[in-house]
Structure 1
Amino acid sequence: NDTMMRIDLDKPLKSGESIEFNIGWKFNIIEADVLGGRGGYEYFEDDGNYLYEMSQWFPRVAAYYDAEGWQNKQFMGRGEFTLEFGNYEVAITVPADHIVAATGTLQNPDEVLTDEQQQRLEEAETADKPVKIVTQEEALENEKEGTSETKTWVFKADNVRDFAWASSRKFIWDAQGFDNGESDVLAMSFYPEEGNPLWERYSTASIIHTIENYNKYSFAYPYPVAISVNGPVGGMEYPMLTFNGPRPYVNEESGEKYYSKRTKYGLISVIIHEIGHSYFPMIVNSDERQWTWMDEGLNTYLQFLAEQAWEDDYPSWRGEARNITGYMASRNQMPIMTNSESILQFGNNAYGKPATALNILRETIVGRELFDFAFREYSRRWKFKRPTPEDFFRTLEDASGVDLDWFIRGWFYTTDHVDISLDKVNLLTVNTQDPEVEKAWKKKVDQQDPKSITAIRNEDMVKKIAQQEHLRDFYNENDEYTVTNADRNEYKKLLDGLDDEQKQMLKNGKNFYVLDFSNKGGLVMPILLDLHFADGTKEHVRIPAEIWRRSPEHVSKLLIRDKKIDQIVVDPYWETADTDTSNNYWPARAVPSRIELYKRDHGDDSMMERYNEELDTDDKNAEE
């Protein structure tokens, strides 16, 4: 049935029983950098050699699990794999000058490696930096001549859900052992000379860095090897083995190789990401064909944590709340909880948004210690099992003891975005009832009002009362702010009827600020504030998301402070992915930007018309 085949048994297979069957098949190897895909070959025209990355090359057992029964969704490209665990022993026969990397451990090194290569491999297990098993000089020598002889490499892998391999006479091979805490892991990289100097410096180091950090946030890596292969596939994961693409550039004039900052960090990031898939979904075995985000989103979240542990100011692409705002406010979205083949804006939806959601949970909603505990619990509870989204959500709540329904609903089941607006700030103080104080206060407030235009223009007019002094009386000599004996007597009468506690309340000098907020984006989130006081000090206030429980659209918050507030900033550290920061300030703040000026050429193409066209283009690009 298209990409799937069913075998009907003569009788039902009971629990604990087994059956054996043989399948004959053939596999056409495509040219990967021409046709694309998750595997294939690369041809090197300069030396006439090939590099093969072999994946999805044999029939694999379809998944059957409690939640869904048989997995019957066809492979259409985007939705990746839903596979079962198994034990593999694979014999791969290749030209004798080829080096092979594969899922699992090599069973016959004495038959395929030289004595010196075997000794180097043994040294690598306890080395403090990568050891070359096959050096660049040896690889270049292999490239020069072919051979009609063959060697058979045998690999064994237990409890894995797939098997992939790579083969080439161009491979340089380096390795370094790593103490995993529970077992030893051999990190290995295979790459052609075209990958250096970038690959020999960063590939194996990136593998070890990934395992160190993913172990910290999930569980100890359970397999004996972890491999990164450079070839035509930009980034793809299989158990114990990953395909990663970035290479240095070659200066056409001098022939010298160099790499840009983007290429360097692109390589480190893609290795972290693909090795990270060894955990999700190669061990925590989610249904990729249905829920892309359960492997890509969770893995991108951990990738972000590992990247930030590499160096200060690591240029992470996804994870920070501020990096997802453009997508969150864009049109043509689907909720995260959408089938893999139906997603719009695939990278942002399945990678960026869920990774950002988890980082916000960790940093802003739950807190690092508690969220890390809950995420580890999910990882350990569901390793070598098949979790559904509900299993993930319930485990986070169960392990953290925090009700996260409101957050999960908004971030995973809707396309709402965060846009909390500070609409108005009212300052209230206690009315002391003392006429000496209150009338002075009223005069000061009223004097802040602008004069009417009529009063301003009548200032030079000669008034009647100035011409006839006898018309002046008490009310001309005193204004409405004058305190009278009647006012004083009324105040004294009031005080006589109050006890000491009530009198003290009238002397309260605190400032009462009523802040009005509106939820313009629809996504409920905590309200985070920085209060800047007149004396130059600052206070950070965190209002839980529960403030929206009675009204998800408009809320007010009363703040009582001794000091006068000069400025209020909403989400001052850009924690919540607020898509419009222009409404986050009181008093309102102008948002700085730039306008490009263009030289007018000819015709009716005015500067503003061209500016508007560029705005339209930028908007479309941002949406894409």
Structure 2
Amino acid sequence: MRNYFWLWLLAASISFVNAQTPPSTYSANTRFEQLGPVLPTPNTFRSSSGAPGKDYFQNRADYDIKAELDDANQRITGSETITYFNNSPDALTYLWVQLDQNLFRPEAIGNTARTNSINAERGASASQLDPSASLRTKNYGYNITSVRDAAGKPLKYTINQTMMRIDLPAPVAPGKSVQFGIDWNFNIVDAKSTGARSGYEYFPKDGNYVYEIAQWFPRMCAYDDANGWQNKQFLGQGEFTLIFGNYKVALTVPNDHVVGATGELQNPSQVLTPTQLARWNNAKGKGDKPGENPVLIVTQAEAEAAEKGKPTGKKTWIYKANNVRDFAFASSRKFVWDALNPNIEGKRVWAMSLYPKEANPLWGQYSTRLVAHTLRSYSKRTFGYPYPVAYSVHGPVGGMEYPMICFNGARPEPDGTYSQGTKNFLILVVIHEVGHNFFPMIVNSDERQWSWMDEGLNSFLEGLACLEWDPDFPAHGIEPQYITDYMRLNPSQQVPIMASSDNIPPNTFGPNAYSKPATGLNILRETIMGRELFDYAFKEYSRRWMFKSPTPADFFRTMEDASGVDLDWFWKGWFYSVQPVDQALTKVDWFQPASQNPEITKGEARAAAQRRNNTVSKQRDAADKGNTVVAQDSTMKDFYNSYDPYAVTEQDKKRYQDYLATLSPEERKLAEGNTNYYTLSLQNKGGLPMPVIVRMEFEDGTDSVARFPAEIWRFNDVQIKKIITTNKKVKQWTLDPFSEIADINTEDNSFPPAPQQPTRFQLFKQQRGAGASAPNPMQQQRQQSNQAPAPARQGTGRN
């Protein structure tokens, strides 16, 4: 509506007072107060700025491991010597060791604590009735055969599910170390049937196995200032809390196997053929151009020949890895092996892939190039990749990460074709899992407790890297509009991001630990902080905690410390609560200053009089106006019959100029202008405050966007009014026009309300052949062209 300025000024002042008076549900002080006591108190270990304190420490463990893979029985036998360094200020009377393979015992707490039920209408599968049935086919879990000190004397130990306590004859004093050994063996699980993070896959057509082996040796628990011993049981969902150390690992496998592992291969001349070694050397220094082809070290033809042969003995592959928190490996005679050696931030790094023929042609075209791309993208945003190698391995594990090596899914159809979704998943999963080298393999967060600190941060960087790979890539994991379905769920079906990893319901683990934190970081970068401030602060966090172990408070504090942006309200709302974002634009009032210019005021009065007199009676009587008395008798006319009350006189003009002379320059500009003042009535219906972003579409076809920070809600987080001034008339207002803040209900974001869109439904008839899967587009194209399937990429070992 359009009102006079002075009346508006009075009304606006009343509205201002009302708007600042908190309603009964007012809680803005809580929302915008500092996190304060919610976070751990800063100390000499972890400073108030989010940086490591002067007394920060972390213990370390060095491993010397010898292990053999029994391909005939899918079994591993190993022996390790661990040197444990106590850098803490505490004397340690016992040590805790992780026994992750014990998760695969049917009686493990991670299995007995699962819930299941029978659906009488749908029925139930055997795995639903007994989720642990596949674990009873063999005796899974560790068989610990020896725990001994450096002199070979037995040490007392106690196994508690997935943890083992070793009691020491004398405490390890601060600054001292202790050495001990463990011998063990275990049966490898079928990763496909168990859904495990490591294991084997059997290929019945050729009778061979692909092994992706992780969580395979007894590993030291972390001991730190935040938790003491982090010996929380491994239940399967919350991942791993580990410490850094140096590894020397000798892996004995059948002599026709190809092995990839954490670290650098120490004896290539003993395990590679002269031809493979020549290709290895040929690949050095290649890969600076994003589109450069990887060099095949083991071709597909060679891998297929190995599938048909039989091993004639054994080989031992020796690897060393310095300053890593874990060690994993992959082994198979089925592996094709290709490599690039790109320059990453001034350092040559091996980017390599291992995959069976079943993964081609997709893997041969994309995997290694994606590894190199990921290292470039992440290094740019964090720190230069410090390790010498990064592997991507295809096998039974859909996606899992370890230092310098990761296991990835995405397999083409048997005919070599694949869907767009399969290709996109390969791009996403390789970037994601290689990206985990940065979080948590180097920025070493506690995954057992805080899944979001590695999965969420990594998913955010993954989204940026995917868009750097292909600007049209559907990076839905960081776009705010794609998290709204999750945030619309009933609060009883959600838990805060800050929930412990094992306490997040499995059906919402993805959005909670991955998408919501990743989206939140993207909102910070694009909308709240801006790219420059965010990128600097994020890089500072990465740099500060490189090869160290941060907590959530360290991340929150560093992001604010390095940017100068108060984000406590955001951490509270996005990370500690389950309230959604839901802003509404309920009303827009339109005002203009009442002009004193007679040219305007009398013109407006004339137009108003004309509107008042334009009645239906006047229109119908117009034909007879010549028959009226005044029209026929001129003596009945006087001054007022020719007087124009709306004509502008010289006196009117002089009075207006005299009035202007009394005004200040600012007041005169206001009085002479034709400015529009709009008062927007806004509601925060969801509870989580966010910046207010408003798009104005003007009558002349142009538009403009106004942005207001989240602090606009700090005095009243329920409803506010905001004046926007324009020189042009606005015909349409829209909140969050670019889907920046994850608003869960956009139907109340427009004023005037946007026209309702119809809900679509589909006409259908009974389909024949239900259940048959449609061919993917590549298959359809081949069928239309009557082409034979293209042969899988073979390669010759040349570029």
Same fold (TM over 0.5): yes
Task: Write the deviation string for residues 52-95 of structure 1: whole angstroms up to 9, x where unpaired.
Answer: 11111111000011111110211001100000111111111111
Alignment partner, residue 336 of structure 1: 497
Alignment partner, residue 777 of structure 2: none
| Counterparts of 1:570 and 1:540, CA distance in 2 | 10
| Counterparts of 1:16 and 1:187, CA distance in 2 | 38
| Counterparts of 1:61 and 1:79, CA distance in 2 | 17
Amino acid in structure 1 at the alignment position of 2:421? R
| Counterparts of 2:609 and 2:756, CA distance in 1 | 32
Which of 62, 69, 75 is residue 234 of structure 2 equivalent to? 75
Shift of 1:469: 11
Cα contact 1:433–1:491 (8 A) shared by 2: no
Task: Write the deviation string for residues 284-306 of structure 1: whole angstroms up to 9, x where unpaired.
Answer: 00000000000000000000010
| Counterparts of 2:228 and 2:654, CA distance in 1 | 84
| Counterparts of 1:389 and 1:532, CA distance in 2 | 42
Alignment partner, residue 594 of structure 2: 431
Identity within the alignment, %: 52
Alignment partner, residue 686 of structure 2: 521
Task: Write the deviation string for residues 358-392 of structure 1: whole angstroms up to 9, x where unpaired.
Answer: 11111111111111111010001001111000000
Amino acid in structure 1 at the alignment position of 2:337? W
Cα contact 1:162–1:238 (8 A) shared by 2: yes
| Counterparts of 2:271 and 2:694, CA distance in 1 | 65
Q: Would you say 1:106 and 2:270 are equivalent positions?
A: no
Bigger drift between 352-361 and 327-336 goes to: 327-336
Kindly tell me: are residues 448 and 188 of structure 1, through their superposed partners in 2, closer, same or farther at Cα, counting changes over 3 Å? farther
Shift of 1:598: 5.2
Cα contact 1:582–1:590 (8 A) shared by 2: no
Alignment partner, residue 200 of structure 1: 364
Alignment partner, residue 163 of structure 2: 4
Task: Write the deviation string for residues 234-255 of structure 1: whole angstroms up to 9, x where unpaired.
Answer: 00001111000111002xxxxx
Alignment partner, residue 541 of structure 2: 378
Q: Would you say 1:389 and 2:534 are equivalent positions?
A: no
Alignment partner, residue 176 of structure 2: 17
Kindly tell me: are residues 593 and 287 of structure 1, through their superposed partners in 2, closer, same or farther at Cα, counting changes over 3 Å? farther
| Counterparts of 2:765 and 2:427, CA distance in 1 | 45
Shift of 1:500: 3.1
Which of 370, 383, 400 is residue 219 of structure 1 equivalent to? 383
Kindly tell me: are residues 494 and 125 of structure 1, through their superposed partners in 2, closer, same or farther at Cα, counting changes over 3 Å? closer
Alignment partner, residue 663 of structure 2: 501
Q: Would you say 1:272 and 2:431 are equivalent positions?
A: yes
Amino acid in structure 2 at the alignment position of 1:30? V
| Counterparts of 1:448 and 1:110, CA distance in 2 | 98
2:296 partner SS:
strand
Kindly tell me: are residues 491 and 121 of structure 1, through their superposed partners in 2, closer, same or farther at Cα, counting changes over 3 Å? same
Q: Would you say 1:576 and 2:741 are equivalent positions?
A: yes
Kindly tell me: are residues 258 and 430 of structure 1, through their superposed partners in 2, closer, same or farther at Cα, counting changes over 3 Å? same
Amino acid in structure 1 at the alignment position of 2:740? E
Cα contact 1:53–1:165 (8 A) shared by 2: yes
1:424 partner SS:
strand
Q: Would you say 1:241 and 2:412 are equivalent positions?
A: no
Which of 700, 703, 714 is residue 538 of structure 1 equivalent to? 703
Alignment partner, residue 466 of structure 2: 307
Alignment partner, residue 367 of structure 1: 530
Alignment partner, residue 594 of structure 1: 759
| Counterparts of 1:190 and 1:498, CA distance in 2 | 82
| Counterparts of 1:390 and 1:221, CA distance in 2 | 25
Alignment partner, residue 373 of structure 2: 209
Shift of 1:545: 1.3
1:19 partner SS:
strand
| Counterparts of 1:193 and 1:184, CA distance in 2 | 28
Shift of 1:489: 10
| Counterparts of 1:598 and 1:165, CA distance in 2 | 53
Kindly tell me: are residues 493 and 179 of structure 1, through their superposed partners in 2, closer, same or farther at Cα, counting changes over 3 Å? closer
Amino acid in structure 2 at the alignment position of 1:16? G
1:258 partner SS:
coil
1:232 partner SS:
coil
Which of 125, 132, 138 is residue 302 of structure 2 equivalent to? 138
| Counterparts of 1:122 and 1:154, CA distance in 2 | 18
2:515 partner SS:
helix
Amino acid in structure 2 at the alignment position of 1:420? Q
Cα contact 2:285–2:348 (8 A) shared by 1: no
| Counterparts of 1:507 and 1:500, CA distance in 2 | 13
1:42 partner SS:
strand
Alignment partner, residue 60 of structure 1: 219
Cα contact 2:241–2:448 (8 A) shared by 1: yes
Bigger drift between 590-599 and 191-200 goes to: 590-599
2:175 partner SS:
coil
| Counterparts of 1:176 and 1:532, CA distance in 2 | 52
Which of 500, 513, 524 is residue 350 of structure 1 equivalent to? 513
Amino acid in structure 2 at the alignment position of 1:213? S
| Counterparts of 2:688 and 2:400, CA distance in 1 | 34
Kindly tell me: are residues 497 and 77 of structure 1, through their superposed partners in 2, closer, same or farther at Cα, counting changes over 3 Å? same
Amino acid in structure 2 at the alignment position of 1:364? T
| Counterparts of 1:134 and 1:445, CA distance in 2 | 88
Alignment partner, residue 202 of structure 2: 43
Amino acid in structure 2 at the alignment position of 1:141? A
Alignment partner, residue 33 of structure 1: 192
Task: Write the deviation string for residues 183-205 of structure 1: whole angstroms up to 9, x where unpaired.
Answer: 22111110001110011100100
Cα contact 1:284–1:382 (8 A) shared by 2: yes
Shift of 1:442: 7.1
Task: Write the deviation string for residues 422-479 of structure 1: whole angstroms up to 9, x where unpaired.
Answer: 1111111112357885576478689999x9xxx999x99xxxxxxx999xxxxxx99x
Shift of 1:143: 0.5
Kindly tell me: are residues 389 and 438 of structure 1, through their superposed partners in 2, closer, same or farther at Cα, counting changes over 3 Å? same
2:523 partner SS:
helix
Cα contact 2:598–2:656 (8 A) shared by 1: no
Bigger drift between 589-598 and 122-131 goes to: 589-598
| Counterparts of 2:504 and 2:308, CA distance in 1 | 47
Kindly tell me: are residues 587 and 26 of structure 1, through their superposed partners in 2, closer, same or farther at Cα, counting changes over 3 Å? same
2:169 partner SS:
coil
Shift of 1:591: 4.0
Alignment partner, residue 137 of structure 2: none
Alignment partner, residue 606 of structure 1: none
Which of 275, 278, 286 is residue 445 of structure 2 equivalent to? 286
| Counterparts of 2:441 and 2:217, CA distance in 1 | 18
| Counterparts of 1:444 and 1:226, CA distance in 2 | 77
Cα contact 1:436–1:483 (8 A) shared by 2: no
Task: Write the deviation string for residues 463-508 of structure 1: whole angstroms up to 9, x where unpaired.
Answer: xxxxx999xxxxxx99xx97799xx999998986774317845444
| Counterparts of 1:446 and 1:171, CA distance in 2 | 90
Shift of 1:210: 0.2
Segments of structure 2 that go 5 or more residues without pairing to the other structure are: 1-159, 288-292, 621-627, 631-639, 767-799
RMSD: 3.0
Q: Would you say 1:151 and 2:310 are equivalent positions?
A: no
| Counterparts of 2:310 and 2:297, CA distance in 1 | 21
Alignment partner, residue 73 of structure 2: none
Task: Write the deviation string for residues 576-613 of structure 1: whole angstroms up to 9, x where unpaired.
Answer: 11122222222211243433155799xxxxxxxxxxxx
Alignment partner, residue 332 of structure 2: 168
| Counterparts of 2:247 and 2:610, CA distance in 1 | 87
